[in-house]
Chains A and B, each alone.
Chain A
Amino acid sequence: MKRAVVVLLALVFVGAAKLPTEHALCTARAQYHIRLVPLGLGLREQVGQLGFIAALSGFRSLVADVLFIQAHVAWERTEWSRVLLLFRQVTTLQPRGVLFWEMAAWHMAWNASAAALDDVKQPRLALRIKTQREYFDLGRDFLERGIRNNPERPQLYEALARLYRDKYRDHGRAAEFFEKAAAQPGAPSYAKRFAAYELSYCEGREHEAHERLQQLYSEGENERLPTLISRLKFLEDKLNVPREQRIPDTAR
């Protein structure tokens, strides 16, 4: 009995002593974005009791992967509502998984939206277009939430830029997000170039776009790609750039 009390007291005292260390470790983890993912009770209803317990027992990633595979199967069966539901669960469980946000957005904005536009069960084009726009918005919502959870990852900014470029045809916003992607560590080298391309399509921002493209062109052969040259030539014509300031025609 005496020993049991000694052990219990030791556990309590040492426990009190280790709390600041554990708290400091928690803070250090948060600094590096390695933080606890809040799991609301609503998720329990979504993933089931077993999945919820597994998620709480340190197997959050495994549960997220199982749901991701289920979402993949649902996509193959074109069950779009299920794809959406499963991706919501996956991204709740693993909000630091850039791939999950990207895939969720891609399925919504590209696949589900295309399926909605071609939906033979809906004879009214206006309603099909409305549904298509709703899927674009769902894709955008996934990417925006993904960026909030992973502000330092360039992939999601890039995906959002592509969404604005290809689906909303909003070149200004596309340029903005390509620019943001280029500003992140580990960004692909083409992000800056793509930002300048998008800017070249924006009415009223031709001067800015020309300046950016000219700057990229002057960086060397690696940047002198056909699209860059063609956009630069287009702007030179549009802005009536003096002949001596234009890039050589041989570049065309």
Chain B
Amino acid sequence: MPAPTHRVFSLGRIAAIAANTLTELTRLRVFYALLIFALILIGSSIFMARLTFQQELQVLKDISLGAMSIFTSLLAIVGTARLLPQDIEERTVYTILAKPVARFEYLAGKLCGVLMLLAISVGLMTVLFSIVLFFREQSVLAETTLQMAGLPADQLSEAIRSVRASAFSANLLPGIGAIYLKGCLLASLTLFISTFATSNIFTVVVAMVVYFIGHLQATAREFWLLEQGGGPFSRTFLAVVALLFPDLQLFDLADEAVLGTVIPFALFLKTVALGCFYVVLYLLLAVVVFAGREL
């Protein structure tokens, strides 16, 4: 009987590691974050009954997508930062790598597990958000129809159209997609940092710093180059920052989606491509570092 051949790359092995990572992360009760999200959503929804419907629906969408962005980013950083140190501490990594599993597969599996967790979280938050928004929309529609019953038909239909436009629309989906993408990028970046980090805290702190730099760099560029003219030192500094760090503001589509701007599909696709590029880049860098790491 011929000996079974070992394939250098196996999607099956990556899927098995990803599934285990997802189970591990789920056991850490990370979904408690979703409970907090639900409380924020419902709490703010009750408070905002004081505002007019347009204000209420817009603020509700802003708060929901803002909370979604915070939780997804935190989940991506904190969830990923502990994966490698924990496996090393519990010696699971030795058991896995002693089998015919390449280090690349191990890291890709870990990352896929986190990305699956993020997808589930974002999906659940979107469902929760849509339900709350739908109920608020229905009650506002009923109120508007009652209040404007005596007005001309075109003004009533305009008001109803305005309510519907202020509520959930497919337009929000690219914004939510961009939040997920940013989460994926942060997860991949954190995995890369954790391959050379000495502690869990170090990984989280560095990832957070990169997060802030990623968001600040475009504003800093605008301020220093356009408003201040920019000397050679600031130009060099900004160039180095732009080379080394991702521009995370490019993933902020949610704000515009909430304001009713239609996000063109082509623009969304370009953002997706950029996000995927970063995810793959940081994964490859993590593989390079991890391959040389003494375990």
Given the known interface contacts A10-B285, A34-B253, the answer about A61 and B258 at a Cβ–Cβ threshold of 8 Å is: yes
Chain A, Cβ-Cβ closest to B179: A58
Q: How many residues of A contact B (CB 8 A)?
A: 50
Q: Does A241 contact B (CB under 8 A)?
A: no
Please name all residues of chain A whose beta carbon is closer than 8 Å to the beta carbon of B50 when the two chains form the complex. 72
Please name all residues of chain B whose beta carbon is closer than 8 Å to the beta carbon of A19 when the two chains form the complex. 242-243
Q: Contact partner of A58 among B227, B249, B289, CB < 8 A?
A: B249
A: residues with CB less than 8 A from B are 3-4, 6-7, 10-12, 14-16, 18-19, 21-22, 24-26, 28-29, 32-34, 36, 38-39, 41, 53, 56-62, 64-65, 68-69, 72, 94, 96-99, 103, 188-190, 222, 225
Q: Which stretch, B91-99, B119-127, B213-221, touches the partner chain A?
A: B213-221
Q: Contact partner of B66 among A16, A62, A99, CB < 8 A?
A: A62
Please name all residues of chain B whose beta carbon is closer than 8 Å to the beta carbon of A103 when the two chains form the complex. 55
* Chain B interface, >50% SS class: helix
Please name all residues of chain A whose beta carbon is closer than 8 Å to the beta carbon of B143 when the two chains form the complex. none
Q: Does B59 contact A (CB under 8 A)?
A: yes
Bound-state CA distance A222–B247 (Å) is: 51
Q: How many pairs of A and B residues are in contact by the CB < 8 Å rule?
A: 132
Within 8 A of A (CB), among B281-295: 281, 284-285, 288-289, 291-292
Chain B, Cβ-Cβ closest to A153: B260
Q: Does B154 contact A189, Cβ atoms closer than 8 Å?
A: yes
Which size bracket describes the interface of B in this complex?
35 or more
Within 8 A of A (CB), among B226-277: 227, 242-244, 247-250, 252-256, 258-261, 263-264, 266-267, 270-271, 274, 277
Bound-state CA distance A34–B254 (Å) is: 11
Please name all residues of chain B whose beta carbon is closer than 8 Å to the beta carbon of A14 when the two chains form the complex. 281
Q: Does B256 contact A34, Cβ atoms closer than 8 Å?
A: yes
CB distance from A46 to the nearest CB of B (A): 16
Residue among A6, A188, A222 with the highest chain B CB neighbour number at 10 A: A188
Chain B, Cβ-Cβ closest to A34: B256
Q: Contact partner of A225 among B152, B247, B253, B285, CB < 8 A?
A: B152
Q: Contact partner of B215 among A32, A56, A72, CB < 8 A?
A: A56
Bound-state CA distance A3–B294 (Å) is: 13
Q: Does B155 contact A (CB under 8 A)?
A: yes
Bound-state CA distance A16–B256 (Å) is: 28
Q: Does B215 contact A15, Cβ atoms closer than 8 Å?
A: no
